[in-house]
Structure 1
Amino acid sequence: MGSPEKFEGWLGKTPDSVKGNMTWGEFEPKKWEEDDVDIKISHCGICGSDLHTLRSGWGQTHYPCVVGHEIVGTAVRVGKNVTHIQEGDRVGVGAQARSCGQSDCPECKAGIPQHCLREQVGTYDGVYPNDVGRSFGGYATYNRTNARFVIKIPEGLDSKDAAPMLCGGITIYSPLRQNGCGPGKTVGIVGLGGIGHFGVLFAKALGADRVVAISRRADKRDDALKLGADEYIATGEEKDWVTKHRRTLDFIVSTVSSAKMPLSDYLKLIKVGGSFVQIGAPDNGELPTISAWDLIGGNVKVGGSAIGPPWEIAEMLKLAADKKIKPWIQTRPMKDANTAVVDMDEGKARYRYVLEA
């Protein structure tokens, strides 16, 4: 096995690339280090983060950029310092490619390297320290990533199903786990999209007593119930939904990124002492204004969450394999990435696109 000196992939060169204008071409991966793993890519999920980055929605992107951080494939080159991955292993990479990893780093020491302040490199559009190069993602033939962020895919989990879990899945699995999702808990999931549908699947797999899917329109009700939701609230079409469901949920995870969402009303659905966790991230970062009384009246806590560490991703993948979780995905050929990105941006995915090499 082995990998070429240069990789090939879909290059976004301007903000217009999100409109189906990526171009296929060569790029130079980061310089090889003996802590790295090269992966021959078989699958890569399309994440909303890819669209934000292609259009420079979360800040100026360093073009040219190859997006894609839901990568699955075969390890074809493994550094001498790597012990948990062997050539030929089926592996995956999520949204993070590196942290400092130092023993005196509070976040890395605590096992939460996704919050490392010293050295934070994303799987794409990141710059490595010590002039070793930039990070490029999975709309490509190969990927090179530090082995600490390369995870073995368990047997019994299809590669196409595992791929979207590596960002979309862990983004909502992590806050569910952090907030004690399990027997005795009632959980609300705001937004039934690529991430929200994972929320329903994982909340049920973790054993929550009751899972409530919350969306603006009623057109996804049947999907939510088929996924395992116990109830569905269409906030834009049901009268008195706040009164009916007031203080019925232990916590809510919101995948919606809109400054117009009825946040004050969502907080009223939470039991005294419960939590609201925001994971959806709009381009401008704006959320609705929260009144102090929204928090004080119910002793409600508001927080956020982003991805998860490698050990938590591995735990999630094992749960998915053990519980035979099947995300709702549609596979698209890697050669059709431009069309797939446009369709994703137009909201046509039900509920996640996965590119296949």
Structure 2
Amino acid sequence: MTTGEIPNEFQGYGVLKNGDWFKTQLISYPRKNINPKDVVIKNICCGICGSDLLTLKQQWGPMLREDGCVVGHEIIGHVIATGTEVTEFKVGDRVGVGAHCTSCGGCARCKSDNEQYCLQGVDTYNDVDGLHDDYITQGGYSSHFIANEKEVFAIPAELSSEEAAPLMCAGLTVFSPLVREVGYNATGKTMGIIGIGGLGHLAVQFGKAIGANVVAFSRSSSKKKQALEMGASTFVATGEEKDWTTNFKDGFDLILNCAIGIDGLNLDDYISVLKVGAKFVSVGLPDVKEKYSVSPFTFLQHGAAFGSSLLGSKKEANYMLKLAAEKGVRPWIEKVPVNAKSCSEALQRCDAGDVRYRFVLTDFDKAFSQ
């Protein structure tokens, strides 16, 4: 590998630790070292995720960098260099990276297609990378990115870069629990999806793509038409249909909660409509202060289980991308050119719920000088 064309400093739109959480500005920062299994990517675009907001608001924990935190973990770009031990990718390949940028590769979790749970694994931004000299990671609102090849995914030609970006986090986050709980062929199974937003609108589409009967849950009926268009067979407005649980006894093989906020979510109601032995899985992560409340008796009566899921494996990501290409699963996106003003506006609109259903930052070739 030659590093002559790889800048020693990358550029990105970051937020200062003690500044307003939504005010981005162009900053430069030293890149991390390139390990033998690393892939160096020149970024094309990056999706905006709810995780970005929660990190910038410091609701999941403090910002770790004083010189500005660059978020973004729905990255699409072209490979411009590879480490000496990289075997899967070559210069010029179009690839994506999600919310995980490296893992050890040697532990039991990594060796069983569970590398997203690696105890030495590193988040794409605002995390200490012990496998790269304790470098504090910076994300994808940036000119370049470096990731271990295990965390890098080839993008099918049928998907545009902007369509592929939200699949890196939102898509994989919902796809992994769907296939782990009901299988890659879910024909004859019924799943419920709570929250028709950035995560949920993809969960509905993927549920249909693997053959499941999909029931969409939302508090009001405002998104009913859209949910049915996405592939839901039934829509339930829980705030308007007070007796909805009566109609769904023993109704679900899986309920997936995609809502970030859990205030007002009655977990007992959802557990009560699961089939015996079925599971309620949550993928939306709220402020750390928010807690679920449920009676143990509800679980007991249904032999039900409560679970959670983190991202997804590379094996699942590759299958997901192939399925999306073949079945027409596409995120509903709004494109935004990456600059300080538009990043700030998009983050605020995302915080207000004013997006249907994913922002994607574009025009990276115009924004960065490297």
TM-score (norm 2): 0.92
Note if 1:126 corresponds to 2:127: yes
Cα distance per residue 1:114-144 (max 9 Å; x no partner): 1112x12111112222526222110011111
Measure, in 2, the Cα distance between the counterparts of 1:310 and 1:29. 24
Measure, in 1, the Cα distance between the counterparts of 2:48 and 2:343. 9
**Distance of aligned partners of 1:285 and 1:154 in 2 relative to their CA distance in 1, 3 Å threshold:** farther
Deviation at 1:16, TM superposition (A): 4.5
Q: What count of residue pairs does the alignment treat as equivalent?
A: 352
Partner in structure 1 of residue 256 of structure 2: 253
Q: Percent identity?
A: 41
Deviation at 1:148, TM superposition (A): 1.9
Deviation at 1:341, TM superposition (A): 0.9
Note if 1:60 corresponds to 2:62: yes
Measure, in 2, the Cα distance between the counterparts of 1:13 and 1:312. 35
- 3-state SS in 2 of match to 1:131: coil
More displaced 10-residue stretch of structure 1: 231-240 or 278-287: 278-287
8 Å CA contact 2:128, 2:135 repeated in 1: yes
Measure, in 2, the Cα distance between the counterparts of 1:355 and 1:243. 44
8 Å CA contact 2:254, 2:274 repeated in 1: yes
Cα distance per residue 1:34-61 (max 9 Å; x no partner): 3221111111000111111111111112
- 3-state SS in 2 of match to 1:92: strand
Partner in structure 2 of residue 345 of structure 1: 351
Cα distance per residue 1:328-354 (max 9 Å; x no partner): 111111112111111111101101111
Which residue type is aligned with residue 349 of structure 1?
V
8 Å CA contact 1:260, 1:287 repeated in 2: no
Q: Which runs of 5+ in 1 are unaligned?
A: none
- 3-state SS in 1 of match to 2:222: coil
Measure, in 2, the Cα distance between the counterparts of 1:343 and 1:27. 27
1:268 to 266, 269, 272: 272
Measure, in 1, the Cα distance between the counterparts of 2:121 and 2:56. 20
Partner in structure 2 of residue 141 of structure 1: 143
Q: Which runs of 5+ in 2 are unaligned?
A: 365-370
Partner in structure 1 of residue 173 of structure 2: 171
Cα distance per residue 1:190-214 (max 9 Å; x no partner): 0000000001000000111x10000
1:1-357 aligned at under 5 Å gives the runs: 2-14=5-17, 16-18=19-21, 20-63=22-65, 64-102=68-106, 105-117=107-119, 119-129=120-130, 131=133, 133-181=135-183, 182-208=186-212, 210-256=213-259, 257-284=261-288, 286-335=290-339, 336-356=342-362, 357=364
Measure, in 2, the Cα distance between the counterparts of 1:8 and 1:139. 9
Q: Report the RMSD for the aligned CA atoms in angstroms.
A: 1.5
8 Å CA contact 1:14, 1:55 repeated in 2: no
Deviation at 1:15, TM superposition (A): 6.0
TM-score (norm 1): 0.95
8 Å CA contact 2:182, 2:254 repeated in 1: no
8 Å CA contact 1:213, 1:232 repeated in 2: yes
More displaced 10-residue stretch of structure 1: 196-205 or 8-17: 8-17
